[in-house]
């Protein structure tokens, strides 16, 4: 999960077009398997940057290149060149931070203000990624496709084609129903145009919608259309068409308004009908004044404009049917299988150089620079030779994964140290540049990086090295804490273990674990949406569910709308690489632990398990503490727990152990005890 933070993993695109990344889970499972199987980190790096170009390319290595596709994209960007450069910038920024701890993105518009990265270096790297294909050959209308590698059989593709046709038919049915209902409303409104003008003359422009509804109902008018009509007349009363309306309104002749405009509108329609009878292709009645009247009647943004949203335009019965058809289409699409494919890049048209975008503007091009690696990280006499038939990503990955690279091993070792100790040897895990923090123990970082890169790049071996050390096994309490804190408040000298709060996922999974509810099956798709299906925006509802009892790593990550528990406990922004999670302490966290359905149900499940043990209350308390804290309670804690539970049990007690209400009272009492354990600092913090 820590690496997925760095890889800015998400199950949806976010931004302007929040489409589902229906196959992102394959990359997530690739990462889980890579760490479980102790894939050497140099291989792990190469697969994510150039897995499609490796000599021994596999489906797994192609899936790994999803790292380059996972970033948030402005999929509806009409300027394709800008979209490509923005995507490359995101890829460069993510690659630089994730593997090298460098902020290359700062050099897009000018030489880096602080680090020795020239703008030319940025565009030399960009040339490599410009030769990489991140978007597919087809679009969804104005929305771009991200690239995917398909490994589906012909039989699977044929079956999916039928599913696609069914989904399209369901969507078409909903859209057709809405269009027909809207057209019926438009005809009805047009037929009563004169009535709308007469009614609008009776009301003030600032009349509330509720008052308009009361007025419009008896007349068979649509209140929102009437409201729009009155607002239109307020600002367009000088229009020649409404001159008579203004005159008659001034004297209160509302019947005269209706009579005048009924005659006028009928004349305009009759003149046009006559012209059409004489010539079916006629577009005009021949009378300019009457044509202007018809044009005003039919203008979709004119005085009879309908509300743009169906929620406001259609009546309750019609709207309910439209929502029913839309929901059928959504459910059919959500349940439809996806093609066996993976988010992946591949080489596109090979560019051996690319022009510098002056001030980052893709329309203002400067000198061209060849593909290359950052000059500051190479010996002065080193010459980069990249093949003319490949993008250069493979050579870039091999250079980054070499033992001689000055940053790669140090950056990942520092990340793992931070994930163990709560603070990296370099505290700014994503920035090893001038604006980043200096290493607190540079010799330690160098030694760990050397051991790591010269012993097979094994993550598990590094874990073992760190976790068997005296430093890792120290207590978070120290007899001289007061004096030492004055000298070293950040514990840079590692004189005690740093107390850490569990991450959001660890809290959730621990709650499920001690309640016996955690489901342990690994892998598979978890986002309840089809690939590229629209998730939601400010006008629609996010139907994503988080009621799964699997590990939190398998819960959906929807950009723009994170799971509430994740959000409260500082889940990182999934649109950017994050090596350091925040650990805030705010009141809503306590409220969530008190009121969350997940916590309450888990506490109830744990209480039932404690009550299954027919032993005395003291033993149940001991079992609860051992489950929650991996230690037995102290005598004082047992007394506190008894003082808390026993009054709740005796309250409303019938004295009959077989009485159902008595059993529920006991369950409720012990459930509150279990919930108190789950919400305690000792449960949420590692000491």
Give the residue, 353 or 515, on which the prediction is more confident.
515
How do residues 327-376 score in pLDDT, each as one tens digit? 888 888 777 777 889 999 999 988 888 999 999 999 999 999 999 999 88
Report how far apart, in Å, the C-alpha atoms of 103 and of each of 45, 318, 378, 432, 572 are: 18, 54, 17, 9, 18
**Per-residue pLDDT at 238:** 83
Q: What is the DSSP letter of 78?
A: S
55: confidence class by pLDDT, cuts 50, 70, 90: very high
> Is pLDDT of 621 > 80?
yes
308: confidence class by pLDDT, cuts 50, 70, 90: confident
Question: In the Cβ-directed half-sphere of 520, how many Cα atoms lie within 13 Å?
Answer: 3
Buried b or exposed e, range 527-542, using 16+ CB within 10 angstroms: bbbbbbbbbbeeeeee
> Is pLDDT of 418 > 60?
yes
Instruction: Summarize the confidence of residues 110-114 as an average pLDDT.
Output: 91
Q: Write the DSSP string, 228-278.
A: HHHHHHHHHTTSGGGHHHHHHHHTT-HHHHHHHHHHHHHHHHHHHHHHHHH
Question: Residue 357: beta bridge partners?
Answer: 365
Exposed/middle/buried for residue 43 (C-beta within 10 Å: 0-12, 13-18, 19+)? middle
In the predicted model, what is the mean pLDDT of the chain? 90
> Is pLDDT of 668 > 70?
yes
- Specify the 3-state DSSP secondary structure of 491: coil
The secondary element (H helix, E strand) that includes residue 460 is helix 459-467
The position carrying tokens 């800008």 is 82
Cα 472 to Cα 421: distance, rounded to the nearest angstrom:
8
**Per-residue pLDDT at 657:** 56
Pairing of strands 365-370, 353-357: antiparallel
Cα 367 to Cα 354: distance, rounded to the nearest angstrom:
8
- Calculate what percentage of the chain has a pLDDT beyond 70: 97
**Per-residue pLDDT at 457:** 97
Contact 590, 683 (CB under 8 A): no
Contact 335, 533 (CB under 8 A): no
Among 50-59, 302-311, 452-461, the range scoring the smallest mean pLDDT is 302-311
The position carrying tokens 């929650």 is 628
Cα 92 to Cα 102: distance, rounded to the nearest angstrom:
10
Nearest Cα to 677, choosing from 647, 641, 648? 641
- Rg, the chain, Cα only: 33
Residues in contact with 48: Cβ distance below 8 Å, sequence separation at least 6, in sequence order: 7, 64, 65, 67, 68, 397
Tokens encoding 20: 């589902």
Cα 290 to Cα 277: distance, rounded to the nearest angstrom:
17
Nearest Cα to 575, choosing from 550, 587, 558, 599? 558
Contact 100, 63 (CB under 8 A): no
Instruction: Summarize the confidence of residues 184-203 as an average pLDDT.
Output: 87
> Is pLDDT of 637 > 90?
yes
Q: Which of 222-226, 308-312, 633-637 has the highest mean pLDDT?
A: 633-637
**Per-residue pLDDT at 653:** 61
Exposed/middle/buried for residue 367 (C-beta within 10 Å: 0-12, 13-18, 19+)? exposed
Q: Which of 32-41, 74-83, 150-159, 652-661 has the highest mean pLDDT?
A: 32-41
Tokens encoding 93: 């920024």
- Specify the 3-state DSSP secondary structure of 534: strand
**Per-residue pLDDT at 141:** 63
Pairing of strands 685-686, 500-501: antiparallel
Contact 156, 339 (CB under 8 A): yes
Cα 3 to Cα 419: distance, rounded to the nearest angstrom:
10
> Is pLDDT of 655 > 70?
no
Instruction: Return the number of other C-beta atoms located less than 10 Å from residue 35's C-beta.
Output: 17
Among 70-74, 80-84, 434-438, 530-534, the range scoring the smallest mean pLDDT is 530-534
- Specify the 3-state DSSP secondary structure of 373: coil
Tally of helices (H runs) and strands (E runs) in the chain:
28, 10
How do residues 454-509 score in pLDDT, each as one tens digit? 999 999 999 999 999 999 999 998 988 889 999 999 898 999 999 999 999 999 99
Instruction: Summarize the confidence of residues 582-596 as an average pLDDT.
Output: 95
Among 252-266, 385-399, 515-529, 535-549, the range scoring the smallest mean pLDDT is 535-549
Q: Which of 156-170, 220-234, 309-323, 429-443 has the highest mean pLDDT?
A: 429-443
Instruction: Return the number of other C-beta atoms located less than 10 Å from residue 170's C-beta.
Output: 19
Cα 107 to Cα 124: distance, rounded to the nearest angstrom:
11
Instruction: Summarize the confidence of residues 402-419 as an average pLDDT.
Output: 94
524: confidence class by pLDDT, cuts 50, 70, 90: very high
Instruction: Summarize the confidence of residues 309-333 as an average pLDDT.
Output: 83
- Calculate what percentage of the chain has a pLDDT beyond 90: 57
Residues in contact with 247: Cβ distance below 8 Å, sequence separation at least 6, in sequence order: none
Taking phi first (over 0 means left), then psi (-120 to 50 degrees means alpha), and beta for anything else, what does residue 101 get? Answer: left
How do residues 557-572 score in pLDDT, each as one tens digit? 999 889 999 999 999 9
Query: Taking the alpha carbons of 395, 397, 398, 404 in that order, is the dihedral positive or negative?
Result: positive
Query: What's the pTM?
Result: 0.80
Q: Write the DSSP string, 169-205.
A: HHHHHHHHHHHHHHHHHHHHHHHTHHHHHHHHHHS-T
């Amino acid at each position: 999960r820590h690496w997925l933070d760095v890889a800015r993993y998400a199950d949806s695109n976010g931004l302007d077009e929040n489409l589902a990344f229906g196959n992102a889970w394959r990359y997530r499972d690739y990462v889980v398997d890579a760490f479980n199987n102790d894939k050497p980190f140099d291989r792990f790096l190469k697969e994510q940057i150039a897995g499609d170009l490796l000599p021994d390319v596999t489906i797994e290595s192609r899936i790994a290149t999803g790292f380059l596709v996972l970033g948030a994209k402005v999929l509806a960007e009409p300027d394709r060149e800008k979209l490509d450069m923005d995507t490359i910038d995101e890829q460069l920024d993510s690659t630089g931070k994730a593997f090298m701890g460098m902020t290359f993105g700062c050099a897009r518009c000018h030489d880096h203000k602080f680090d020795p990265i020239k703008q030319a270096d940025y565009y030399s790297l960009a040339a490599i990624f410009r030769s990489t294909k991140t978007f597919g050959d087809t679009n969804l209308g104005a929305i771009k496709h991200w690239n995917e590698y398909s490994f589906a059989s012909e039989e699977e593709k044929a079956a999916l084609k039928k599913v696609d046709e069914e989904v399209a038919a369901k969507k078409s049915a909903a859209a057709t129903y809405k269009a027909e209902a809207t057209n019926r409303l438009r005809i009805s409104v047009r037929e009563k145009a004169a009535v709308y003008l007469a009614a609008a003359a009776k009301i003030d422009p600032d009349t509330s919608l509720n008052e308009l509804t009361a007025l419009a109902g008896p007349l068979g008018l649509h209140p929102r259309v009437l409201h729009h009509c009155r607002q239109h007349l307020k600002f367009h009363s000088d229009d020649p068409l409404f001159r008579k309306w203004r005159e008659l309104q001034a004297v209160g002749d509302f019947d005269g308004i209706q009579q005048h405009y009924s005659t006028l509108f009928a004349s305009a329609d009759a003149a046009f009908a006559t012209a059409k009878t004489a010539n079916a292709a006629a577009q005009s009645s021949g009378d300019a004044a009457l044509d202007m009247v018809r044009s005003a009647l039919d203008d979709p943004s004119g005085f009879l404009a309908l509300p743009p949203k169906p929620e406001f335009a259609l009546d309750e019965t019609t709207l309910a049917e439209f929502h029913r058809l839309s929901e059928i289409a959504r459910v059919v699409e959500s349940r439809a299988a996806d093609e066996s494919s993976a988010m992946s890049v591949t080489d596109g048209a090979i560019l051996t150089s690319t022009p510098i975008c002056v001030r980052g503007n893709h329309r203002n091009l400067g000198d061209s620079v060849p593909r290359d690696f950052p000059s500051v990280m190479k010996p002065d006499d080193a010459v980069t030779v990249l093949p003319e038939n490949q993008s250069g990503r493979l050579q870039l990955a091999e250079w980054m994964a070499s033992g001689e690279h000055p940053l790669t091993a140090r950056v990942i070792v520092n990340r793992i140290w931070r994930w163990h100790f709560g603070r990296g040897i370099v505290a700014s895990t994503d920035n090893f540049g001038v604006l980043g923090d200096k290493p607190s123990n540079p010799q330690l970082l160098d030694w760990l990086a050397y051991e790591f890169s010269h012993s097979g790049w094994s993550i598990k071996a590094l874990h073992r090295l760190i976790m068997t050390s005296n430093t890792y096994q120290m207590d978070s309490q120290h007899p001289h804490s007061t004096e030492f804190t004055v000298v070293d408040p950040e514990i840079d000298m590692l004189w005690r273990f740093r107390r850490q709060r569990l991450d959001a996922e660890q809290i959730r999974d621990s709650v499920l674990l001690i309640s016996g509810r955690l489901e342990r099956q690994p892998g598979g798709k978890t986002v309840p949406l089809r690939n590229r299906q629209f998730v939601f925006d400010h006008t629609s509802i996010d139907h994503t569910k988080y009621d799964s009892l699997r590990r939190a790593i398998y819960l959906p990550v929807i950009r723009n709308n994170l799971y509430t528990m994740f959000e409260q406990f500082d889940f990182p922004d999934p649109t950017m690489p994050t090596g350091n999670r925040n650990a805030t302490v705010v009141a809503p966290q306590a409220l969530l632990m008190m009121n969350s359905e997940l916590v309450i149900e888990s506490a109830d499940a744990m209480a039932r398990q404690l009550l299954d043990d027919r032993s005395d209350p003291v033993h149940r308390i001991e079992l609860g503490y051992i489950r929650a804290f991996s230690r037995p309670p102290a005598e004082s804690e047992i007394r506190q727990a008894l003082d808390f539970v026993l009054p709740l049990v005796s309250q409303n007690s019938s004295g009959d152990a077989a009485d159902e209400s008595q059993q529920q009272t006991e369950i409720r009492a012990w459930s509150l005890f279990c919930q108190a354990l789950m919400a305690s600092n000792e449960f949420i913090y590692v000491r």
